[in-house]
Structure 1
Amino acid sequence: MNKEKLNEGKKRILTGALAGAMVLSSFTISVLTSEVQAADASADKNVVLYAKDTQLSAMADKAATVNTYEDYKKGEYQKVTLNGDSITFEGSGAVVQGSDLLISAAGTYVLNGTLDDGAIIIDSPDEENVTLVLENVNITCKDGAPIYAKNCGKNVIISVPEGTENTISDGSSYTYEYKVESTDTETGETSLQPSAAIFSKADLKFNGGGKLTVNAHYNDGITGKDDVEIAEATLTINAADDGIVGKDSVIVKNGTITIKAEGDGIKSTNSEDTTKGYVAIADGTFNIISGNDGIQAETVLLTLGGDFTIKTREGAAAGKASQENRQDKMPAGENGQSMQRPEGVSGAAVRMENKNTSSAAIKPEKLDSSRFTSTAAAITEETESTSAKALKAGTKIVIQDGNFNINSEDDAVHSNGHAAVASGNFQIAAGDDGIHADTTLEIYGGDINITKSYEGIESAEITIEGGSIEIVSSDDGINVAGGNDNSGFVGFGPMNRDSFTTSAAITSQAIAGSDKAEQKLTINGGEINVNASGDGIDINGSGYMTGGTVAVSGPTNNGNGGLDYDGEFVVTGGTLIVAGASGMAQAPGSGTTVNTIAAAVTAQAAGTSIQLIDSSGTAVMAFTPEKGFSHIVISSAVIQTGKAYKIMGGDTELASFTADSTVTNLSDNGAGNKGMAPRAGADNMQNGQMEFPNNGGIKQERGMTQNNNTQ
């Protein structure tokens, strides 16, 4: 992640503390309360997402303890010399047949030289390992897999010693005599094997500090029908279909893996056993360009660390999020507000100045480990040809740590069940959603910068405990269960949305129905900045904010709102700032305990600085939205009961009020308030939606009406 760019963006909102605490550029905001300071004091306690989950713990242990390369010369070994069109073998346990080596016994076989058109075939019943040590070999097989393990009683180990460079290449069709038809004992499906340049029906393990290049012209690069483990090798794979496939699992301890695949980059495929079909990565460097998914697990995807650069298909520019500003380009509303994003405005969200939560904002014991039990979620039907996600899992994605640079045509991070992020750095450009989970999404920390998306983060239930989150979206920034938006204006109606499966977490309600009790947004901490062309925060249910700092810039069209919710939205802590259109504007409602101002104002251009000025003329809050706006919501302890304030837009006074109640609603009676009507049947004040009253009996200040409403 570009830290300098991120930090520069955060200077657009200036924050500090009252009562002698930190002051920045003379503007202050009471964010550093004793409660927040207490949270910061424990911020160094990282959340360990897998600690209380048996399956995840086992996966983490296995990924961290994969055996690395051991010097093969410490034991007995057989020497194999490749001579272009022939093979010289010295030892026992194998025979040469033409230009093929047939291995029938366990042992260590050291290969060197070049084989122009031949294969290494393993067919050993021994309950011991077969190890192939590649010492600067170049093996080509024009009509089959160059390395094919038909049978092995234990593991097939491929070692590439440090300092060696090795290449394995196949042809575009497999016709050699070793090809067989195989029936999967779990699914009953039949297939022709081998189906990869390196193919093993036994556990397949790679180690060593050397280099191995696999050129797979027929199908997959590396396939293991059980587990595939990689300890420390440098692998470069060019594949006609998938790069690395492990049916039961793919486990990476370390190494450098570069994949260019027409299909998936890395995947595990076992859908019959919920304890298998996973991908676990402890560390390593990954550079993946894939025609379909980057890394895909049929069940669980776990990352403990690593550096990931992933591009799927044509990248974000080819996804539906690439229809730039489709929400902003709606016709202008009756308030005269421009629906076009102003020239020169970047995609960055409104930023907060001081990071008041770290990447580990809660204590480990606060984690509800029941979110990550090993129960399988219903899997959305999706063909490989339509899926171009960067990180994808069938039941859950757990990101403990890692650095992710993602450019995906589809979702960047996608789970058909649960997802959780403990920490890490994310630079995401997505053609669809930045982070999506069908059932629950929990974010405990990390630096998440979503520079391009259709919807930024999306799930049926979202909980944010900490971290720094930047979202730029062409539709909703944060979307809870689907969305109440105008995506249909350009043909992206509900049929094109991500589906939300009905799993154990949400069986009590129907996503598309009226019972939305389980559709919920909870914000307990973190720093969240949203720049949205659709709804900034869209909750098809209820929202609860107890801490953290949230800033929303946009939308500019009256068909959406910076804050949009169906049930209730209650603020009892933290700081909330929303600057967007007024047509569908909502503010926090009943139950809110943090003093709040909601004001419809004269339309302002993007980049207009907003300042909240107290009665002494001191600016106690300042922020600069990056979209035009005609409505402002501020919930913050900086607003003190009984005190008078002015809201300034640049040098122009937009509103003045006295905070006589918890929620103060200001409404302009001018033509600018003839935006979209409230939703039929809604109790606008209960839901915090703006009303536009006449002047009867209400004090007016500088063209604004003041309506103090005690919640």
Structure 2
Amino acid sequence: MKSNIYQWLGISMLTMSLMLAGCTSNPSEVTTGITSENDKGSTSKVLSAEFDAEDLDSNWDEKSSKQIALNGDSITTSASSGVFIEGTTVTIALPGTYVVSGELNDGQIHVKLENNGNVKLILNGATIHNEDSAAIYVEKAGKTIITLAEGTQNSLSDGSDYVYEDNADEPSGTLYSKDDLSINGAGTLIVNASFNDAIVGKDTLKLVEGTYVVTSVDDGIIGRDVLAIRTGKYTLDVAGDAMKSTNDNTEELGAIYIVDGTFDITSGNDGIDSIGAAVIENGQFNIVSGEGSESKIDETTSAKGIKSATELTMYKGTFNVDSADDAFHSNGNVNVHGGQYSITTGDDGFHADSALTINDGVVQINGSYEGLEGNQITVNGGNISIIASDDGVNVAGGNDESAFGGRGGASFATESDALLKITGGQIKVDAKGDGLDSNGNFEMSGGTVVVNGPEDNGNGPLDYDGTFNMSGGTLVAVGSSGMALAPSEISTQAALLMYYTETQAANTLVQLANEAGEIIVAFEPDKTYQSVMISSPLIEQGQSYTLYSGGQTVLDDILNIAEDTTGSLGNKIVSFTLADKISYVDANGITTSRGGMGGFGGGMGGGRGPMGGRSDDNGEMPAMPDGEMPTRPEGTNGEMTMPDGEMPTRPEGTNGE
């Protein structure tokens, strides 16, 4: 393997440099292509990958090439030396170019060079089946390049039981290479793996182009040290992982890098599974893992869409993911710089044990347990829509033990650096649990966020354990009132939290107008609600406002919100003057009572079970002594005190997570 195939450098930004060669008839012509830079993500490593001229050269000289003809139950060759035929096994012992064509009923192409060197295999309409071993086995070569001749269909298959000599356990895949392997060419390769894996590179595996149709009783495509894909069309239907890297001996190994391509993946386990970093520049990805979001998997099974053990980064691309487990997962950081995402998942949409950063892109999480989850979540841009059966956005500490085994159900302890930070973008949340939940601090300085929170009082539209500093942007959060919170009093931007005595109907316009009758903010909640929290740069401390229900105005099609707009006002609910930066309002105007509980803040959800420490299985609040409600002491930001100094009791069967 080349020592410079990729390298890690300790700096504060992720810079990716690719040396890509154009598909040219002159293999000496190499062009450098893509350089992508992360200027806002929280990553610390650099990955560069190289496709050299040999990888990209799909041409060959017919006159100087050696022919290998497959004739059903026999093999012939034009080579006078370096090729040995024994029955239906042909062994290539010298470097060179070999053109393989025809059909082999039960045999093998075996590459075992006497000395170091490169072999180029041209599959020119070759069909190879081996009943008890690999169809193509590269045992020893400096590098092997397989070219799929343009316009040809090539097929490899094996039987369900391999026969090994002595204590050997290799090969264990239909196409198996112990050294560097590159596959190029505009032809088609069909691989049916009945024993174990389909395409295995025990060193570096590069797929440059071509059409691949892979079925496997276990994994599909494996690059142990590196799996690098430049382009191509891939259809994989496998019982295990569709694409993966496996070398975890050092942090320099085990990476997956995808420049472009079309990927249609159906996997019993993970769609893409990188034991190291995973970087996707572009591509079209359609992934169904673990039979999709509606399926039930046990705690020892991992059925994620795309996952990495260290760092997962997407720059562009279209991703349609239906996963039983997390759609996008990293044991370290997840970085989203762009792309189009349509996600349905039985667990999290995006999960990072460390930092999740979204700089741009269109993210639609159409169904999830929790939409975004990480120890630190930063949204700098993009358009994000989340539907969650628990929390829409959940910030907490600790590591997800489900990452590279099963999904697990572990609780996560709160860390002091847990932070939800929103600086830009548009976010819409529909959550049955907490809408935005930070088991640490919360900062918002820009962007527009609309939260349609829970309808039960066991959760709140907003939940945070530390402080919430609101300094910019527009935030509207509606939902139940039992645990409703406003930003902290350290905020520099004004906010109000309105409590209703009765549940309000969904799909009815809510308008906030200033003293002149100008509409400052208007929005239409998607669900019933009993509290409304509004913060906008247009709201000023010391000014008077009126809250209306009904009326008419034009709203944004996605967020159902409008600012500084015109229209007809509805029915007046209440008028008030914002004497404080953070004001609390009810039907009578400004109030000093702050209503609901808040402050429970559970840890990260480890699975689809009940929300630890926040409610029972029916979404009810923990029981209070004598049925009383807790009160908040003056000057607090959502901290709780219980009647007579007592603590709430947890429902039977909960573990307090």
Corresponding residue of 1:160:
148
Q: Which residues of 2 match residues 2-13 of structure 1 at below 5 A?
A: none
Corresponding residue of 1:588:
487
Q: Of the candidates 484, 505, 511, which is equivalent to residue 605 of structure 1?
A: 505
- Give, in angstroms, the shift of residue 57 of structure 1: 3.5
Q: Of the candidates 385, 395, 398, which is equivalent to residue 480 of structure 1?
A: 395
Q: Secondary structure at the match of 2:48?
A: helix
Contact residue 247 and residue 268 of structure 1 kept, 8 A = yes
Corresponding residue of 2:66:
78
The reply to whether residue 520 of structure 1 matches residue 520 of structure 2 is no
Contact residue 192 and residue 215 of structure 2 kept, 8 A = yes
Corresponding residue of 1:140:
129
Q: Secondary structure at the match of 1:546?
A: strand
Per-residue CA shift, 1:28-66, capped at 9, x if unaligned? xxxxxxxxxxxxxxxxx985369998953413xx26988
- Give, in angstroms, the shift of residue 127 of structure 1: 2.0
Q: Secondary structure at the match of 1:456?
A: strand
Q: Of the candidates 99, 114, 127, which is equivalent to residue 88 of structure 2?
A: 99
Q: Given the superposition, is the C-alpha separation of residues 273 and 412 from structure 1 closer, same or farther in structure 2, using an over 3 Å criterion?
A: same
Q: Of the candidates 240, 246, 257, which is equivalent to residue 269 of structure 1?
A: 246
Contact residue 319 and residue 430 of structure 1 kept, 8 A = no
Aligned equivalents of 1:621 and 1:53: distance in 2?
37
Per-residue CA shift, 1:432-461, capped at 9, x if unaligned? 000000011111111111111100000111
The reply to whether residue 418 of structure 1 matches residue 333 of structure 2 is yes
- Give, in angstroms, the shift of residue 678 of structure 1: 7.0
Aligned equivalents of 1:460 and 1:399: distance in 2?
19
Corresponding residue of 2:212:
235
Q: Given the superposition, is the C-alpha separation of residues 310 and 678 from structure 1 closer, same or farther in structure 2, using an over 3 Å criterion?
A: closer
Aligned equivalents of 2:596 and 2:537: distance in 1?
30
The reply to whether residue 171 of structure 1 matches residue 159 of structure 2 is yes
- After superposition, the CA RMSD in angstroms is 2.8
Aligned equivalents of 2:337 and 2:532: distance in 1?
32
Aligned equivalents of 1:467 and 1:63: distance in 2?
32
Q: Of the candidates 49, 55, 58, which is equivalent to residue 48 of structure 2?
A: 58
Aligned equivalents of 1:582 and 1:432: distance in 2?
27
Per-residue CA shift, 1:248-277, capped at 9, x if unaligned? 010001111111110000000011111001
- Give, in angstroms, the shift of residue 496 of structure 1: 7.6
Corresponding residue of 2:560:
none
Corresponding residue of 1:202:
179
Q: Given the superposition, is the C-alpha separation of residues 560 and 520 from structure 1 closer, same or farther in structure 2, using an over 3 Å criterion?
A: same
Contact residue 236 and residue 242 of structure 2 kept, 8 A = yes
Aligned equivalents of 1:180 and 1:660: distance in 2?
85
The reply to whether residue 687 of structure 1 matches residue 637 of structure 2 is yes
Corresponding residue of 1:488:
none
Aligned equivalents of 2:489 and 2:597: distance in 1?
23
Q: Secondary structure at the match of 2:334?
A: strand
Q: Given the superposition, is the C-alpha separation of residues 653 and 404 from structure 1 closer, same or farther in structure 2, using an over 3 Å criterion?
A: same
TM-score of the two chains, using structure 1 as the length reference: 0.73
Contact residue 587 and residue 689 of structure 1 kept, 8 A = no
Q: Which residues of 2 match residues 132-531 of structure 1 at below 5 A?
A: 132-152=121-141, 154-175=142-163, 181-182=167-168, 192-318=169-295, 386-481=301-396, 512=413, 516-531=415-430
Contact residue 458 and residue 479 of structure 1 kept, 8 A = yes
Corresponding residue of 1:557:
456
Aligned equivalents of 1:93 and 1:683: distance in 2?
87
The reply to whether residue 112 of structure 1 matches residue 95 of structure 2 is no
Aligned equivalents of 2:294 and 2:87: distance in 1?
51
- Give, in angstroms, the shift of residue 594 of structure 1: 1.1
Aligned equivalents of 2:281 and 2:634: distance in 1?
46
Q: Given the superposition, is the C-alpha separation of residues 51 and 476 from structure 1 closer, same or farther in structure 2, using an over 3 Å criterion?
A: closer
- Give, in angstroms, the shift of residue 600 of structure 1: 0.5
Corresponding residue of 2:120:
131
Q: Of the candidates 404, 419, 432, which is equivalent to residue 533 of structure 1?
A: 432
Q: Which amino acid aligns with 1:478?
A: V
Aligned equivalents of 2:249 and 2:255: distance in 1?
12
Q: Secondary structure at the match of 2:370?
A: coil
Aligned equivalents of 1:497 and 1:555: distance in 2?
26
Aligned equivalents of 1:584 and 1:132: distance in 2?
67
Corresponding residue of 1:620:
520
Aligned equivalents of 2:410 and 2:156: distance in 1?
41
- Give, in angstroms, the shift of residue 613 of structure 1: 2.1
Q: Given the superposition, is the C-alpha separation of residues 46 and 98 from structure 1 closer, same or farther in structure 2, using an over 3 Å criterion?
A: closer
Q: Which amino acid aligns with 1:127?
A: N
- Give, in angstroms, the shift of residue 417 of structure 1: 1.1
Q: Of the candidates 576, 579, 596, which is equivalent to residue 660 of structure 1?
A: 579
Q: Given the superposition, is the C-alpha separation of residues 123 and 390 from structure 1 closer, same or farther in structure 2, using an over 3 Å criterion?
A: same
Q: Which has the higher contact order (CA 8 A, sep 6+)?
A: 1
Q: Which amino acid aligns with 1:89?
A: T
Q: Which amino acid aligns with 2:273?
A: Q
- Give, in angstroms, the shift of residue 595 of structure 1: 1.5
Aligned equivalents of 2:584 and 2:531: distance in 1?
11
Aligned equivalents of 1:50 and 1:665: distance in 2?
36
Q: Secondary structure at the match of 1:67?
A: helix
Aligned equivalents of 2:634 and 2:214: distance in 1?
58
Per-residue CA shift, 1:157-192, capped at 9, x if unaligned? 1110211111111111112x6x5645xxxxxxxxx1
Unaligned runs of 5+ in 2: 1-34, 399-405, 551-569, 601-629, 642-657
Q: Given the superposition, is the C-alpha separation of residues 50 and 520 from structure 1 closer, same or farther in structure 2, using an over 3 Å criterion?
A: closer
Per-residue CA shift, 1:365-398, capped at 9, x if unaligned? xxxxxxxxxxxxxxxxx98x51000111111111
Aligned equivalents of 1:432 and 1:466: distance in 2?
24
Q: Given the superposition, is the C-alpha separation of residues 54 and 669 from structure 1 closer, same or farther in structure 2, using an over 3 Å criterion?
A: closer
Corresponding residue of 2:473:
574
Q: Given the superposition, is the C-alpha separation of residues 521 and 65 from structure 1 closer, same or farther in structure 2, using an over 3 Å criterion?
A: farther
Q: Which residues of 2 match residues 659-678 of structure 1 at below 5 A?
A: 659-667=578-586
Aligned equivalents of 2:41 and 2:599: distance in 1?
47
> More strand by proportion, 1 or 2?
2
Q: Which is further off, 633-642 or 574-583?
A: 633-642
Q: Which is further off, 240-249 or 601-610?
A: 601-610
- Give, in angstroms, the shift of residue 107 of structure 1: 1.2
Per-residue CA shift, 1:594-625, capped at 9, x if unaligned? 12111112311221221112223332221112
Q: Secondary structure at the match of 1:607?
A: coil
Contact residue 484 and residue 596 of structure 2 kept, 8 A = no
Q: Given the superposition, is the C-alpha separation of residues 206 and 550 from structure 1 closer, same or farther in structure 2, using an over 3 Å criterion?
A: same
Corresponding residue of 2:29:
none
Q: Given the superposition, is the C-alpha separation of residues 288 and 235 from structure 1 closer, same or farther in structure 2, using an over 3 Å criterion?
A: same
The reply to whether residue 88 of structure 1 matches residue 76 of structure 2 is yes
Q: Given the superposition, is the C-alpha separation of residues 400 and 389 from structure 1 closer, same or farther in structure 2, using an over 3 Å criterion?
A: same
- Give, in angstroms, the shift of residue 674 of structure 1: 7.9
> More helix by proportion, 1 or 2?
1
